[in-house]
Amino acid sequence: MAENKDEFLDDIDAAETEAYESQEFSDEAMELDELRAERDEYKDKFMRALAEAENARKRAAKDRQEAQAYGGTRIARDLLPVYDNLNRALQAAREDGNASTALVEGVELTLKELLNVFDRHGVTRIVPQVGDRFDPKEHEAMFEAPLPGTKAGDIIQVSTEGFMLHDRLLRPAQVGVSSMPAN
């Protein structure tokens, strides 16, 4: 009986040791699972932060590019009346036969230099001609009038030229448009 008792106690000790070791293994497995989950969470946060930093870099590059291209919009708009006045002065001097040729040449050179500055900075003129079709993306209708020999929507008069800065409209060309009804 003592042998059975000793064997029984040995079996209990072995079972307790096995249970303890399996609990130890399961605690280690749980801790390992927790560490893996934490690692995955940190990896996800890192990848999101990396993507956010890349997006911020791209936005900054785009903003910098736009600022470089369109940063001079205000000064370009402010220079448009200068162009208009020089153009009017040149037309008036040509119409008036008494203007000195030196004055006319000076105004022409000044106007040409202003257009060169515009070109260097991406400012282009919109110069519609009488008979062209009205385009609301580039033209502003100042009036409509029925003019025989034209079709509705044809430009019948150009008041002022328009200007673009790269692909943006600075000022539409101001025009008169035919409202001649279709026959």
pLDDT digits (tens, 9 = 90+) for 10-46: 777 776 666 666 666 677 888 888 999 999 999 999 9
pLDDT digits (tens, 9 = 90+) for 64-82: 998 888 888 889 999 999 9
Which stretch of 16-20, 55-59, 73-77, 110-114 has the lowest confidence by average pLDDT? 16-20
**How does the average pLDDT of the chain come out, rounded?**
88
Q: What is the pTM of this model?
A: 0.66
Token reading at 110: 């000044």
Q: Among 3.40.50.170, 3.40.1350.10, 2.40.30.260, 2.30.22.10, what is the CATH number of 122-183?
A: 2.30.22.10
Q: Is the pLDDT of residue 1 over 60?
A: no
Q: How far apart are CA 138 and CA 111, in angstroms?
A: 23
Q: How is the chain split into domains, by residue range? A: 1-70, 72-121, 122-183
Q: How far apart are CA 128 and CA 134, in angstroms?
A: 9
